[in-house]
Structure 1
Amino acid sequence: MVSQLVDGPEMTGAATRVRVHHHHVPAERRYRLIDGCCEPHAQLDGEYQSIDEAIGEAINWLLASTGGDEQSWIGVEVCTGNGDWRTCRLPMPLLCELRAGPTS
């Protein structure tokens, strides 16, 4: 928060000072999924409120479309205050399930 004192143009003295508060309201973050080429993902082209929501959607899509038998390179970008997109998670394979190993 930033404060500043402002004097009235026609008055002088401490009694005429007014405290003005400037509140910084952070913009709501938006995330999107990108593919292995760092381009917006063709099938998962929505915007998400969090990284966890975006990755969860990618995992659900991957499990539904491939049955979890394949890996897919997926990353995440965040929208900056000026509208540009910045990578916050580089594309890497999403491993949707652990393979059951031999039991002893």
Structure 2
Amino acid sequence: MVSQLVDGPEMTGAATRVLVQNHHVPVERRYRLIDGCCEPHAQLDGEYPSLDDAIAEAIDWVLASTAGDATSSIGVEVCTGNGDWRTCRLPALLLCPLPGSLGSV
């Protein structure tokens, strides 16, 4: 953390000083899966450390699903530094598995 004191141009005295702090803390990205309505996915409601991990989990779930519903639209959101979630992959069909996933060829 870096701190510095800043004085206003017209102001003098201790009451005019402002402490400015710059935070340079690396933020670990977190991802979550969303359904076709862009809501958190009901069955895949965990958080993942990478985009690849999130998509691999979704592919494994679709392939292992008892309904065999390969038409499930699944997207991914990433958590921002202030805690908001932003869509980074719109819900779409998961057509090709990642290497190492349950259905890889």
- Does structure 1 conserve the Cα–Cα contact (< 8 Å) formed by 2:30 and 2:50? yes
Q: How does 1:21-100 map to 2 (within 5 A)?
A: 24-66=24-66, 70-96=70-96
Separation in 1, partners of 2:37, 2:48: 20
Amino acid at match of 1:26: P
**Structure 2: runs of 5 or more not aligned:** 5-21, 98-105
Separation in 1, partners of 2:88, 2:96: 20
Amino acid at match of 2:91: P
Q: Percent identity?
A: 81
- 1:67 Cα deviation from its structure 2 partner: 7.5
TM-score using structure 1 length: 0.67
- 1:24 Cα deviation from its structure 2 partner: 1.6
**Structure 1: runs of 5 or more not aligned:** 5-21, 98-104
Amino acid at match of 1:56: A
- 1:53 Cα deviation from its structure 2 partner: 0.1
Q: Secondary structure at the match of 2:36?
A: coil
Q: Which has the higher mean CA deviation after the structures are superposed, 69-78 or 28-37?
A: 69-78
- 1:3 Cα deviation from its structure 2 partner: 9.0
- Does structure 2 conserve the Cα–Cα contact (< 8 Å) formed by 1:32 and 1:77? yes
- Does structure 1 conserve the Cα–Cα contact (< 8 Å) formed by 2:29 and 2:79? yes
Bigger CA radius of gyration: 1
- 1:93 Cα deviation from its structure 2 partner: 0.7
